[in-house]
Amino acid sequence: MIIWSPLCAAALLFAVFAPLPAEAAPRSLGPVTQSSPREDGVDLRLARGARARISFVTPEVLRVRISPSGAPFEPDTASYALTESPPQAKAVLRRIGPQLLELRSASGTRVQIRRAPELQLSVFDSAGRLISADDPARPIVFDPQEGSVEATKRRDDYELYYGFGEKALPLSRHQQHLVMWNADVPDYAPGHDPSYQAIPFFIALHQGLSHGVFLNNSSRSWFDMGKTEPQRWRFGAARGELDYFVFTGGPERSPARVLQDYTALTGRGPLPPLWALGYQQSRWSYKTQDEVLRVAREFRQRQIPADVLYLDIDHMDGFRVFTWNPSTFPQPREMLGQLHAQGFRAVTIVDPGIKRDEGFAIYRSGREAGVFMRGADGQELHAKVWPGICAFPDFTSPAARDWFGQLYAAPLELGVDGFWNDMNEPGVFAPDGFNQPEISLGPQKTLPLDARHAGDGRPGDHARYHNVYGLQMARASFEGLRRLRPEQRPMVLTRAGAAGVQRYAAVWTGDNSPSWTHLALTIPMLSNLSISGVPFVGADVGGFMGSPSAELHSRWLQAAVLTPFFRTHSNDVSAPREPWAFGPEFERINRATIELRYRLLPYLYSLFEENERSGLPPLRPLWFNFPRDVRASLVDDQFLLGRDLLVAPVLREGERQRRVYFPAGEAWLDWWTGRRFEGGSEATVAAPLDRLPLFIRVGAAVPTQALLQHTGEMRAAPLALTVAWGRSGRSEVFQDAGEGYGYRRGAARRIGIRQDGQGLTLELDLPPNAGFQRLARLEILGLDRASPWRFDGQPLPAQKDETGRLRLELPAAADEGLHQLRLAH
């Protein structure tokens, strides 16, 4: 259970309301005076000058655009969220009453448009079920002076909401007021909002049926999901259009379909380089190159798998980005070479603030290129961050993005492998504000709202572009790296972002704290980020803001080991936190935890490839796969990894067992013991300090691999399949080079696995192996009997191991072609 303190609510109120324009004053748009049909919908004019367009993007995706001032609609890409102009789907408009129009898509999804006394929309799915309806008692309102606009929808008591990006809030966002305003909030308390990245998209769940809504407006916006009035939810934006999409979820009204349709518009996370899925070790900071190399050596000597080491701000010369401290990192090239020789990659931090220093070539070059932001007075804008007074690239200018992207040439040439974009809300130091939480946590801890942005041809102030600053920085980094190394997959990590951030970067949840409460918070936070379209997410293991106990640290490592982005990181005053830092007993536990990650990497990698194709995230809250299971909808202390693994970390101090809920309609096997649990039930499971409670879905085949120390060793490591025996099911394993884009040109293989419903056969379909991991073994869970087995008609011996698994070593010829394993009776 997470405790939501009233203190944070007070901080929230201050943060949200103090320095920003007031929310909308009530003035309605008036009735519709004119309607003109279009191929994909209808254009409307309203009595007080507003214009509206209601159109279908696909038969299952509706778009509503309202320009309250009557100004022409903005270009589709103005919010930076959409990858391109959405498609148009045919719609038929007809009059169904004196004041009632109806717009119908090819699938039968309908919108009823009431023309008077106010514009009012009701959306129905193709089966005639109401999805969402404007509230007749609360017409759309706008404030001509402030430019804000707000709409209110009716709400059923039992409707739940998930998404909204990164929020330190409970799993479902019903009865919450949420603000979309990226903020640097170190040590955020549970309940504090806003946070580092706001994504105005949610998936609703009501009686097993889903739909989604995305507000395509990146200025400050807000959503009140039944907090003020339980029978209503309302949303609005401080500026611009009320431009929103409604995703019906298809005829099945599934959350997966909503997310597929949302990510079709805003983009999907590209497959990361394989190494970025390995374990990553960071701290603020490893202070010298010798220390970095010592840490690397220790990982290898102690045989604890790891792939990445991070260099935080102290590797720089006076915190000047893209420089190296000459006394502490005198030979970065040699250091990086030695890291690579041991199978490590290095990621360096890159902040947006560029020290105003005439002696700093990058500052001079940026000034000469005219890429820095200007204040309302037209002068170069300055604010204080780590290096002192800084200038800030205007990432909403293509020239600035190109200029910044090019700066990566130098570290790439030295051998740096990935980049970490931080402080890009942007967070700046409030003058004298450090000791006053209301200032250091408040929205004024950013650039002045009247500072200027180029806005890619649509100039505007920081109030308008604030929320996309981090997104555009990540874009500059990603696109720069793509240009510089076209055949390498960029690894960019970003703290701030907005809708569409998944196109460019992984995301971590900022400066969390070393407490059990914060550990528990990681599950709702990462679940909601994931279903906001952002697949590559993680939280600093152990909590950033101090020193966890050995137990908390080990439990956190377990809770994080199957989260997509797996990094330990801590601040400058915390005690050492390498896996061995807590003594031999904890070192043994932590090693085993990290080894689990490495055993399951082939599965995780396949999930990322699935995400690139479908937008479905690797990490999922239970309800996402089981929307009709009412009990699953509020489970906030477990998550799913793909379809097949259920993860139930221990989140409380001293606990050595925990209750686990098994989603209905499936059966689950304990990964460690093979014990079977029926779906729809709860059970107490053992969770000694060295065990992460983990379960596999019956019918699944999950790829695992032999133990290794880093992903560079993967290709030679044999692959195994852990098969949860007993139900029909299909699985797929994706294999490729782990780097580059060959897989998009066919240099990959997909292993197909099919289990029959009778529990008798398993079929394998293996395309030719062009240098991928060899399938060498099956490990079968869920069967008491060890034999007799026949593989392609021949007897195959099975060994039962201590976890109850039957191990079957496959003949070499099994790695290609069609094969059948049969349980003979």
Q: Which residue, 417 or 422, is less far from ligand GLC as judged by CB? A: 422
Q: In the set 284, 299, 469, 624, which binds ligand GLC (CB under 6 A)?
A: 284
Is residue 55 within 8 Å of residue 62, measured between CB atoms?
Answer: yes
Decide if residue 510 touches ligand GLC (CB under 6 A): yes
Tokens standing for residue 71:
């100004």
CB of 435 to ligand GLC, least distance (A): 17
In degrees, rounded to 5, the angle at the alpha carbon of residue 594 between the alpha carbons of residues 521 and 280 is 75
End-to-end CA distance of the chain: 49
Q: In the set 199, 313, 701, 751, which binds ligand GLC (CB under 6 A)?
A: 313
What's the burial of 763, exposed, middle or buried (CB within 10 Å: 0-12/13-18/19+)? Answer: middle
CB of 201 to ligand GLC, least distance (A): 24
Compute the residue count for the chain.
825
Is residue 445 within 8 Å of residue 439, measured between CB atoms?
Answer: yes
CB of 286 to ligand GLC, least distance (A): 11
Binding track over 65-94 against ligand GLC, x by CB under 6 A: ------------------------------
CB of 23 to ligand GLC, least distance (A): 30
* Radius of gyration in angstroms for the set of CA atoms belonging to the chain, rounded to a whole number: 27
| Sheet strands side by side (includes 619-620) | 619-620, 639-641, 645-647, 694-697, 667-670, 676-678
What DSSP character marks residue 189?
P
In degrees, rounded to 5, the angle at the alpha carbon of residue 256 between the alpha carbons of residues 251 and 261 is 75
Is residue 63 within 8 Å of residue 54, measured between CB atoms?
Answer: yes
- Which residue lies nearest ligand GLC, judged by its C-beta? 284
677: nearest Cα among 702, 659, 695: 695
Q: Which residue, 185 or 753, is less far from ligand GLC as judged by CB? A: 185
Is residue 715 within 8 Å of residue 771, measured between CB atoms?
Answer: yes
Q: Which residue, 569 or 597, is less far from ligand GLC as judged by CB? A: 569
469: nearest Cα among 395, 404, 534: 395
Q: Which residue, 308 or 313, is less far from ligand GLC as judged by CB? A: 313
What DSSP character marks residue 541?
B
Site for ligand GLC in 554-573 (CB under 6 A): 569
Q: Which residue, 134 or 422, is less far from ligand GLC as judged by CB? A: 422
Residues in contact with ligand GLC, total (CB under 6 A)?
A: 10
Which residues carry out catalysis?
Answer: 422, 425, 511
Is residue 507 within 8 Å of residue 477, measured between CB atoms?
Answer: no
CB of 184 to ligand GLC, least distance (A): 8
Q: In the set 150, 187, 394, 422, which binds ligand GLC (CB under 6 A)?
A: 422
Decide if residue 23 touches ligand GLC (CB under 6 A): no
Tokens standing for residue 431:
């003058």
Is residue 632 within 8 Å of residue 664, measured between CB atoms?
Answer: yes
CB of 569 to ligand GLC, least distance (A): 6
Decide if residue 312 touches ligand GLC (CB under 6 A): yes
Q: Which residue, 68 or 352, is less far from ligand GLC as judged by CB? A: 352
Q: In the set 495, 697, 749, 805, which binds ligand GLC (CB under 6 A)?
A: 495
How far, in Å, are 143, 308, 548, 737, 740 from residue 717 at the CA level? 63, 20, 35, 13, 20
Interhelix angle 584-599/601-614, rounded to 10 degrees, is 50
CB of 122 to ligand GLC, least distance (A): 44
Site for ligand GLC in 342-401 (CB under 6 A): 349
Q: Which residue, 423 or 647, is less far from ligand GLC as judged by CB? A: 423
Q: How far apart are CA 21 and CA 103, in angstroms?
A: 36
Decide if residue 644 touches ligand GLC (CB under 6 A): no
CB of 349 to ligand GLC, least distance (A): 6
Q: Which residue, 461 or 511, is less far from ligand GLC as judged by CB? A: 511
Site for ligand GLC in 183-202 (CB under 6 A): 186
51: nearest Cα among 149, 185, 169: 149
CB of 464 to ligand GLC, least distance (A): 25
Q: Which residue, 392 or 623, is less far from ligand GLC as judged by CB? A: 392
Q: How far apart are CA 66 and CA 61, in angstroms?
A: 17
DSSP annotation string for 66-103? EETT-PPPPPGGGGS--SSPPP-B-EEEEEEETTEEEE
For tokens 């505007």, name the residue.
460
Tokens standing for residue 281:
């070790």
Q: Which residue, 31 or 497, is less far from ligand GLC as judged by CB? A: 497
Binding track over 735-774 against ligand GLC, x by CB under 6 A: ----------------------------------------
CB of 494 to ligand GLC, least distance (A): 11
Q: How far apart are CA 492 and CA 505, in angstroms?
A: 5
Q: How far apart are CA 88 and CA 106, in angstroms?
A: 12
Strands 681-686 and 619-620: unpaired
Return residues touching ligand GLC (CB under 6 A).
Answer: 186, 284, 312-313, 349, 422, 495, 510-511, 569
